[in-house]
């Protein structure tokens, strides 16, 4: 039986959260991240948007990749994938054990969610939530 861990993404820093989730997945745990639209990207909001928009602008029109996700759940999954050896069997298997959801689905309303204290936003930091970031990039269909 695989242990399932429910993580509440509210006010966690994306990179820190992704590294902890990746480690849990490698250890063999099923990790389900809820409220991924409330995960934070640190930095001045406009600067974060400008940097990512430039990445998207450079690849516009390409038929091959890399394709940069715009939806919050895909964005967070991509960050977690970056923390894994996703081209090796161990990383592929670990990535299959990670699920990311916008908000809290009806199936998981009663789930006991954990927070990772070391991944929380420090007071006074500038940040933008992944949900707002996706809206500003023009992601449609997730709201």
Residue 54 burial by CB count (10 A; 0-12/13-18/19+): exposed, middle or buried?
exposed
Q: 4-137: what fold? A: Ribosomal Protein L13p; Chain: A; (3.90.1180)
Stretches in the chain below the pLDDT threshold 70: 60-67, 139-143
pLDDT attached to residue 105: 93
Judging by DSSP bridges, how do beta strands 98-100 and 30-34 pair with one another?
Answer: parallel
Q: How far apart are CA 45 and CA 52, in angstroms?
A: 11
Model pLDDT for residues 55-77, shown as the tens digit of each residue? 877 776 666 666 678 899 999 99
Three-state DSSP class for 30? strand
Nearest to 77 by CA among 10, 18, 8: 18
Which tens digits make up the pLDDT trace of 111-122?
A: 999 999 999 999
The domain ranges of the chain are 4-137
Q: Give Rg (Cα) of the chain.
A: 15
In the structure encoding, which two tokens stand for residue 75, read together?
């964005």
pLDDT computed for residue 62 by the predictor: 65
Residue 90's φ and ψ, nearest 5 degrees, are: -60, -45
pLDDT at 45: 93
Q: What is the pLDDT of residue 95?
A: 96
Q: Which of 116, 107, 140 is nearest to 11 (CA)?
A: 116
Question: For residue 24, what are the CA distances in angstroms to 19, 77, 85, 135?
Answer: 9, 14, 14, 30
């Amino acid at each position: 039986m695989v242990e399932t861990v429910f993580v509440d993404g509210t006010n966690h820093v994306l990179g820190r959260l992704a590294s902890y989730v990746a480690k849990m997945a490698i250890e063999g745990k099923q990790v389900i991240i809820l409220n991924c639209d409330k995960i934070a990207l640190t930095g001045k909001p406009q600067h974060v948007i400008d940097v990512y928009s430039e990445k998207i602008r450079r690849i516009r029109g390409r038929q091959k990749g890399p394709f940069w996700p715009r939806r919050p759940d895909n964005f967070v999954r991509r960050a977690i994938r970056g923390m894994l050896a996703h081209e090796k069997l161990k990383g592929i298997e670990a990535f299959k054990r990670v699920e990311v959801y916008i908000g809290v689905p009806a199936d998981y309303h009663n789930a006991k969610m954990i927070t990772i204290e070391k991944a929380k936003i420090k007071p006074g930091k500038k940040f933008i939530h992944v949900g707002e970031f996706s809206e500003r990039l023009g992601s449609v269909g997730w709201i």
